[in-house]
Chain A
Amino acid sequence: MRSIINYLKEIFGAVAALFKGMRVTGYYFFHPKEIVTQQYPENRATLTMFDRFKGEVIMPHNENNEHKCTACGICEMNCPNGSIEIISEMKVNEEGKKKKVLSKHIYHLGMCTFCNLCVKTCPSNALAMGQDFEHAVFDRSKLNKVLNKPGSVLMKGTE
């Protein structure tokens, strides 16, 4: 007798559990407001990507055209795909000390997997992830970018 009751209980429990799931999907079906898909080309003007989206590696500059890169080369060593090349030169600063100065931070967007390692490991927080994702070009060489802007210098107080 007991086992029969358990058997029936099991059936009704299962049906109730299944119905619970169906209520969720049924609710979504009748509430198109819940749709989360972004209709991309149509909403291009208003589209804002969320903060953590990794579109490309950028080097933020301040209003005086200064960046924070000390040309240490750590990002170049940490990049698993070899998509970063640091070209630096030795310069004598005003105190008379010889210092490495960044001349070109070359970033190959075409080889980057957006793993974020370069941003994470940069000791002076010179890199960041940008939110731009429309990278299609007709020529591969256009994907090789120089991240430091022309004429930019190292921000004061960054070592």
Chain B
Amino acid sequence: MEFNIYDLTSFTSSFDQLLMENLSPFWAVAIEMILIGVAILAFYAVVGLYLVYAERKVCAFMQCRVGPNRVGPYGFFQTIADLIKLLMKELIPIKNADKLLFNIAPYIVIIASFMAIAAIPFAKGLHAIDFNIGIFYIMAVSSLGVIGILIAGWSSNNKYSLIGAMRSGAQIVSYELSVGLSLITIVILSGSLQLSTIVEGQRDGWFLFTGHIPALIAFLVFLVAATAETNRGPFDLAEAESELTAGFHTEYSGIKFAFFFLAEYMNMFIVASIAVTMFLGGWMPFHVGGWEAFNNIMDYIPPFFWYAGKTAFIIWVMMWFKWTFPRLRIDQLLTLEWKYLLPINLVNIIIMAFVVLMGWHF
């Protein structure tokens, strides 16, 4: 079994063959699924925890503070300590709450984001399922999370929670449009919904550069809409600390609260991954069509690091948004979507279709 960090396809396929030769196909597939499930679960927990740490550090620096710095060097184990604390906390039962829905809601939120991760290409060959409708699948699955939020707000039997959940519903229903349309712009350019093909299509330059102006506009619209989709500031109306205490998760405590918290950060990771895959080439190194020498130098950095670096950058930009802008009011939020982003997006799609038709892209 050879291991090549630049192309993991041979590693995964030889592993697959090994299992297939020794076991019946059913068990081989079952073992593969379990292994991938465990790997993604571990990845999910670690990335979630360290995104929380990163967010606290980034926000601290942007506000002239130091941030967590007591648990471990530079506070590196702070979020792990927080997790242990949350695990030991009591789960407070709510009087008159709808018990079943109340308990199910955090799992719905977390499962929705968990399912989306499966279809993200992390590196060449490091890709759990490569659907031929990959991007469509991710969008469909990641928007399921709002059902969990609505259920959480409804079953808590608390007016703040309900208001937060309703806002979240209105927000996601409208911003889903912008996310979808801006991704369609790129689908027009790439001519495929399959994520591996989309990444492969960026071999001679990322779509953000090859699609010039319409791709750039789509990228900006996607960033705004994706921030709104993840319920993060400046669009965090669903939680709105200053008005709704904690919005839809007011009544949750202990590990159930941690689930919502973790899911929020993982959603951020997922939308950043989508942005990277669709606009910035996914794991594809920075290539300029025709510059052979330059491209070869860029290929020395393993694809996973390209992917991780780009994702970290997008996440950092989203944190930058959150800690700079004040929160929007619900009517301003809907005005932004329906009066600005949506028309811009529709015009943009037409421009993109025209550009592709005339062959003006690179």
Q: Among B66, B321, B344, which residue has its beta carbon within 8 angstroms of that of A37? A: B66
With beta carbons under 8 angstroms apart, the residue of B63, B66, B320, B325 that contacts A39 is: B66
Name the distance in Å between A27's Cβ and chain B's nearest Cβ: 9
B58 at interface, CB cutoff 8 A: yes
B61 an interface residue at 8 Å Cβ cutoff?
Answer: yes
Bin the interface of chain A by size: 10 to 19
- In the complex, what residues of B have CB within 8 A of residue A35's CB? 61, 64-66
In the assembled complex, how far is the CB of residue B128 from the closest CB belonging to chain A, in whole angstroms? Answer: 34
Instruction: Give the Cβ gap from B181 to chain A, nearest Cβ, in Å.
Output: 17
Expressed in whole angstroms, the Cα–Cα distance for A34 and B69 within the complex equals 17
Contacts of A39 in B (CB 8 A): 66, 69
- A residues 1-48 near B (Cβ < 8 Å) are 11, 18, 21-22, 24-26, 28-29, 32, 34-37, 39
Instruction: State the CA gap A26–B323 with chains docked (Å).
Output: 10
Please give the distance in Å from A145's CB to the nearest CB on chain B: 32
Partner of B63, one of A21, A22, A28, A32: A28
User: Given A21-B324, A22-B324, are A29 and B61 neighbors across the interface (CB < 8 Å)?
Assistant: yes
Number of interface residues of B (CB under 8 A): 15
- Given the complex of chains A and B, what is the CA–CA distance between A39 and B68 in angstroms? 12
A11 to B63: give the CA distance in the assembly, Å: 27
B44-91 residues at the A interface, CB under 8 angstroms:
58, 61-66, 69
Once the chains are docked, how many angstroms separate the CA of A21 from the CA of B324?
Answer: 6
A contact residues around B320 at 8 Å (CB):
22, 25-26, 29
Q: How far is the CA of A25 from the CA of B62 in the complex (A)?
A: 5
In whole Å, how far is A8's beta carbon from the nearest beta carbon of chain B?
10
User: How many whole Å from B356's CB to the nearest CB in chain A?
Assistant: 24
Q: Is B340 positioned at the interface, with any CB of A under 8 Å from its CB?
A: yes
- Asked if B340 and A11 sit within 8 Å, CB to CB, the answer is yes
Complex CA gap A16/B86 in Å reads 41
Within 8 A of A (CB), among B283-334: 320-321, 323-325
Q: Looking across the interface, which residue of chain A has its beta carbon closest to that of B234? A: A18
In angstroms, how far is the closest chain A Cβ from the Cβ of B70?
10
The 3 closest A-B pairs by CB, nearest first: A25-B62, A25-B324, A37-B66
| B residues in contact (CB < 8 Å) with A | 58, 61-66, 69, 320-321, 323-325, 340, 344
Binding site for B on A (CB under 8 A): 11, 18, 21-22, 24-26, 28-29, 32, 34-37, 39
